[in-house]
Amino acid sequence: MARRYYVCPVVTELQADGSTYVYAKVAHYVGQIKGYVAHIPSDPSTGLPLRNWALVCVEADDHSLLLADAAFEALPWKDALDDALTLPQAAKDKLAARGIDLSGITTMRQLVRAIGQRLHASFDERAFGVSS
């Protein structure tokens, strides 16, 4: 079992009963992965997602389906959050385009925190995970 982090689209669906249902696109792969958690902060007045993308943490034996899905931006694979990180320029460009401040980031933990806090300032990576 391996854990990886991704940035993926948030889907907002109008249901037949008139209600609105929101999920990260990784939910399409439930049944093929062990589990996931998505950070999708909501507008407190409307309940709608604040952004159209989410940070997700996925546990799976095999990540090839997600890695093959062009809608997913995989973050570099690391054994541990505190491992040193060198981001490829292409990944830097994509994250910067989302308004994520990458200055001074040297570990996976700092990157995950920066992405999560771009979604909502209170994000804490220590409270964000799923069991294998």
Partner 1 sequence: MALLAQDTFTVGVDTVLESHTPDIGTGWSVETAAKLTCDAAGDYCYANQANNTRHWGREGTSIGADAMDVTVDILVNNVNNNRFCGPAGRMTTANWGNQYNAEAQGGGIGGNVQLTYFLFKAVSSVRTQLGSWADTSTNNGASTHTVKLEIRTAAKKVFVDGIERISSADDSLAGNHYAGLTGQRLEAQMDNFKSESVNDPLPSKILESSLLQLNRMSEAAVGA
User: Which parts of this chain interact with partner 1 (CB under 8 A)?
Assistant: 19-24, 27, 30-31, 33-49, 116, 122-125, 127-131
Give me the phi and psi of 54, to 5 degrees please: -135, 155
Q: Nearest approach, Cβ of 103 to partner 1 (angstroms)?
A: 23
Distances (CA, A) of 128 to 9, 10, 92: 18, 17, 22
Count how many Cα atoms sit within 13 Å of the Cα of residue 79 in the half-sphere of its side chain: 2
Rounded Cα distance between 22 and 35, Å, is 17
Q: Nearest approach, Cβ of 86 to partner 1 (angstroms)?
A: 26
42 or 92: CB nearest partner 1: 42
Q: Nearest approach, Cβ of 110 to partner 1 (angstroms)?
A: 16
Amino acid identity of 66? L
Which tokens sit at 27? 């939910």
31 or 88: CB nearest partner 1: 31
DSSP conformation class of 49 = B
94 or 120: CB nearest partner 1: 120
How many CB atoms neighbour CB 129 within 10 A? 13
6 or 116: CB nearest partner 1: 116
Q: Nearest approach, Cβ of 121 to partner 1 (angstroms)?
A: 11
